[in-house]
Structures are given as C-alpha cells and as structure tokens.
Amino acid sequence: MIGSKILLECLKKEGVDTIFGYPGGVVLPLFDALFSEKEINLVLVRHEQGAAHMADGYARATGKVGVCLATSGPGATNLVTGIATAYMDSIPMVALTGQVSTNLIGNDAFQEADITGITRPIVKHNYIVKDVKDLAQTIKNAFYIASTGKPGPVVVDLPKDVFTSEGEFVYPAQPNLRGYKPTYEGNKLQIKKAVEMIEKAKKPLLYVGGGVILSGATEELYKFVEKTEIPVTTTLMAMDAFPSAHALNCGMLGMHGTKYANYAVQECDLLIAVGSRFDDRVTGKVSEFAPNAEIIHIDIDPTSISKIIRAQLPVVGDAKNILKELCGQIKKLEHKEWAAQIMKWKNEFPLNYKDSDPEIKPQYVVEKISELTNGEAIITTEVGQNQMWAAQFMKFKKPRSFITSGGLGTMGYGLPAAIGAQAGSPGKLVIDIAGDGSIQMNIQELATAVKYNYPVKIAILNNGWLGMVRQWQELFFGKRYSSTLIESSVDFVKLAEAYGAKGMRIEKKGDVEAALKEAFAYKGVVVMDFRVCREENVYPMVPTGAALHTMIDGGLA
C-alpha cells in the first residue's frame, strides 16, 4: 500500500472523521487519496490558520483529537499560530504537514521549511517521517501523545516521497514510547493528607481550571462540591466546568474576574487548585496572591505544580480520578459562615453595567444571548473585550459549551473554532461572540461555513475600536489612542451577503432580542453587526502587577 493510503487507514483506525485542510504541491498524493475516501470528510478551509483553529474547536467541543492538514513551507508555517493556541490551552490536536522529498531536505528546496524546528517550542511532540515503514507507528504514537496525560498538539511532518512509497500496512496495537508514562492515579498518602487539610479548613475555596474539562471531571467536581459545600471559582478555560447558577459558583477570578471571586481568593485559608496553572491573568501580584491560604495543587502535569505559586501539598494525577477519591474519603462538610460571607459579597458586588437605552450596551447583547439559549448553545469567542463580556455575562450549564483562546489570546480564533465545533456537533446551535477587530482576522472562513452548511451565528459587538487595547490606553496611557481606532467603511452586512451568508445590522437596544431570535431560527450562517456603545470598558479590572483585591470598578460598585 502506498504511504498516502496507509496514512488514511491509520487515521480511520484512530476514529478520525473530519480533517480541516488546504492542498498544495507536496500533499497532492494525499489529497488524491482523499478524493475517493468515504469515511473521512475533508473540510477545505480558506487559510491554514483557520484549519488549525477549526481542528482546535472540534477537539474542544467533542473531546476527540482534532486533525488539520497543510502543505509544506508557507502552508505549514500558516498553521503555527493555531498550533501555539492549542499548545497553550492543552488541546489534543494532530497537525499533518507536507514536506519536500527526503533527498531535498536541507537544500532550500521550493516551499521547504523546517516545521519540526519551528514548532518545537509550541508542541507536545513532533515527528518527521523519513521512511514509509515508520508511518503507521508514528501516527499511533502521535494520537496517543496528543490525547493522554496533559493533552497537546503533535506535528507529523511528511515528505512527499513517503506518500508515494510502498509499504506493508500493519497498524500497531500499542504506541511505542519509552519513558512516556503519564500519572493518572494520585498518591494515596497525598490524597489522605488532602482530605485532612480540607476537613480542617474553615474557608476553603476550589480554584478550577481547564484540566477539569479535559479530563471529563465535571461530574466528579459537582459531587465533591455538593458533599463539601466548598465554593468554586474558575479560570476562563473552565467557565463551563460548574453550573453558573449554582449558589456556590463565584464565577471567574483574576484580571477581569468577579469581585467576590477575587475577595474569596484573598480571604480563603485553603485553596484547592484542580487542573489549573496559576497563570499571571489569575494571580495578579504573586507575592500577595491568596496570602492567608495553604495550597493543594492537583494536576496531571508535575511540572506545573509549584511553578508559580508554591503548593504545600502537590497531588499529581488525573483530576477525574483524584476528585473521585477525595469525594469517597471525605466526610460531609458544612461551611455556613464562609458561604454567607461569599453570598454577602455577591449581593454587594454583582457584575453590572450602566444602562443607556436606546444605545446598545455590549453586555446587554451577551445577556440576551445567554437568556435565549439557556445554556444549550456552544459559545465561542474572539479575543478582547468581547471575550471578557462573554465570560462575565454568559451562563453555562454543560461542559464543552464555552470555547475560547485562553493562554495565547489569539485574535481571529472564534469564527474558525465555531466552524470546528459545529462540524463536531451537528444540530447544535453554535455562536461566535466577536469584536469588529478580531473577526476580520479570519473572516474569510465565512466561505467555509457557507460551503459546508455549518450554520454558525456570529454576533459582532462592533464599537469601532480594538476595544481592549483602547481600554488600556484610556486607563494607563493618558487616552493616547495610538492605532486602535479601526472604524472604517467595512459593511459587515454586505460582506456577509458577498459570502452567501445572512447579514443583519442592529442599532437599537429594542431590536436586539428580535434580531437574535431571527438569527437563531435561520437555517444558515448569520452575521449580526451590533452597533454597541463606543467606549464601554470591561470591569472589574485588576491592573497588571497589582493584587487581586485592588480592582478598578469604573464607578459601578
């Protein structure tokens, strides 16, 4: 069997049903094999970055490994931003890249790029296959690495002659990876110590990260909270890990987190971090983070523990298994005084904004989306103010319903991620909450959504600025708005129609709900251009380098 056929058989063995990709010279043998392939759907994107984000969105929505494909040279390098996005958020993805023939590698051949060298800092692992005999084992290894332990992207670079060489196809039953053995079960003694610390604490707080979603541990988290009555705060990556409406949910912590979440962190006496990594957007000033608390850090990646904040008790292992163990061993707990204090903060410092009817506030649009979808939709976001308003004002019920670029903060992520999520979740309502700056970075993927009838809905919170950067310039740079005013002659309605989508412009608050209902009922792709308040800011806000309790509230509290 030739290499291109072997590769497709390997992908089918791994359960791949969709590949997001773009053709080019050295991958033509593979695209030729895909021409008659019935079991794998090839989604032709309009830019390779879109392919990577679609594979990422597909993976986040389904829990499966996302797959993207690009040719050598510029095709492969166009994947880099999407690969880095997946790496920063620990998303399981396999990126297949074409490469010049093995005899030409290193000779600066046409469309040659050292993609394994380029991507080495932003992948969990990468390979270059130089012999067709190694192809099946490499694919087996790649999918295993991408999906196990702390997940992440794996690049497999494939020279043209490997696609055309013949070899015997035998798909290995097991990966062949000496030394790679992720720890899934927590140390029994450490778990026992954790139980003792939790039972002793008066003001415990759960700090939940995206690892809880990745491990499928949301049910175990819920049972643990119900048994212990420990309040929960989440990172941006875990907004959908615990029901928003639950009385013990404090929402997101950190730079644009809720006041009550940040106050809870600063006042707690025990912080239980689960599947989170204490990034700078969460901690603020490290020396003043959770000053009264001992730290239990539960994570499958031992290198993440005590990397930024020292943990008094590390527990290495899978969040699902460890939460189940903790719940089985711990006694029923009550924290009435602590819960009452948090409820007091919630009542005193709710997330709010100043109404300005008939002008549309962006928060109002997000609230209406939340109200009309009732936690049943998949929400993706672009990056910037739109992302933070989505995190603050959307309400979630189910895991894998909030898909956003956290660690890398990639503008242009939301639309292709929505398409990937829609591909993996047919029949689901998928909505991209966008900004007018970020949406234009990959807006060409409207053509992909229309071509394959992925009926995503895009809600653009159009304020004519690069809003988050403008907010920083207002607050910290004396309102010197350098290169952030992007108001132009772009007509998003006409642009949508040019791509074959439905375009809508909404300029009055009273028209928001009806427009959303119309868009959600429409069978195809919809672009909604909400002309929102021009200089609205995201509050609360913890300034860079400040402690969590020193929040700017913009006069809202």
For the chain, the structural domain boundaries read 3-164, 188-348, 362-531
Of the candidates 110, 344, 354, 508, the residue annotated as catalytic is 110
Q: Is the dihedral of CA 99, 104, 106, 111 positive or negative?
A: negative
**What is 362-531's CATH superfamily?**
Thiamin diphosphate (ThDP)-binding fold, Pyr/PP domains (3.40.50.970)
Using the structure block, give the residue that is written with the tokens 């491990």: 215
3-state secondary structure at position 349: coil
**Per-residue tens of pLDDT for the chain, all 557 residues:** 999 999 999 999 999 999 999 999 999 999 999 999 999 999 999 999 999 999 999 999 999 999 999 999 999 999 999 999 999 999 999 999 999 999 999 999 999 999 999 999 999 999 999 999 999 999 999 999 999 999 999 999 999 999 999 999 999 999 999 999 999 999 999 999 999 999 999 999 999 999 999 999 999 999 999 999 999 999 999 999 999 999 999 999 999 999 999 999 999 999 999 999 999 999 999 999 999 999 999 999 999 999 999 999 999 999 999 999 999 999 999 999 999 999 999 999 999 999 888 899 999 999 999 999 999 999 999 999 999 999 999 999 999 999 999 999 999 999 999 999 999 999 999 999 999 999 999 999 999 999 999 999 999 999 999 999 999 999 999 999 999 999 877 999 999 999 999 999 999 999 999 999 999 999 999 999 999 999 999 999 999 999 999 999 988 86
What are 201's two structure tokens?
A: 């604490």
Instruction: Give CA–CA dist 206/417, Å, rounded.
Output: 29
Instruction: Give CA–CA dist 32/30, Å, rounded.
Output: 5
CATH assignment, 3-164: 3.40.50.970
Dihedral, CA of residue 316, residue 321, residue 323 and residue 328, to nearest 10: -120
**DSSP conformational letter for 155:** E
* Cα angle value 372/374/376 (rounded, 5°): 110
Q: Do domains 188-348 and 362-531 have the same CATH topology?
A: yes
**DSSP conformational letter for 107:** T
What pLDDT was estimated at residue 488?
Answer: 72
Q: Based on the residue annotation, tell me whether 312 is a catalytic residue of this protein.
A: no
Of the candidates 12, 13, 37, 111, the residue annotated as catalytic is 111
3-state secondary structure at position 98: strand
Of the candidates 411, 468, 504, 528, the residue annotated as catalytic is 468
Q: Based on the residue annotation, tell me whether 197 is a catalytic residue of this protein.
A: no
Dihedral, CA of residue 100, residue 105, residue 107 and residue 111, to nearest 10: 30
What's the alpha-carbon Rg for the chain, to the nearest Å?
24
Q: How far from chain centre, in Å, is Cα 489?
A: 31
What architecture is the 188-348 domain classified under in CATH? 3-Layer(aba) Sandwich (3.40)
Say which residues have a Cβ less than 8 Å from residue 338's Cβ, sequence separation at least 6.
202, 203, 204, 231
Of the candidates 9, 14, 48, 445, the residue annotated as catalytic is 48
pLDDT tens for 353-409 read 998 888 999 999 999 999 999 999 999 999 999 999 999 999 999 999 999 999 999
Q: Based on the residue annotation, tell me whether 468 is a catalytic residue of this protein.
A: yes
CB 236 within 8 A of CB 402: no
Of the candidates 64, 140, 150, 160, the residue annotated as catalytic is 160
Instruction: Give CA–CA dist 199/192, Å, rounded.
Output: 11
Q: What share of the chain is helix, strand, coil (3-state, %, to 5)?
A: 40, 15, 40
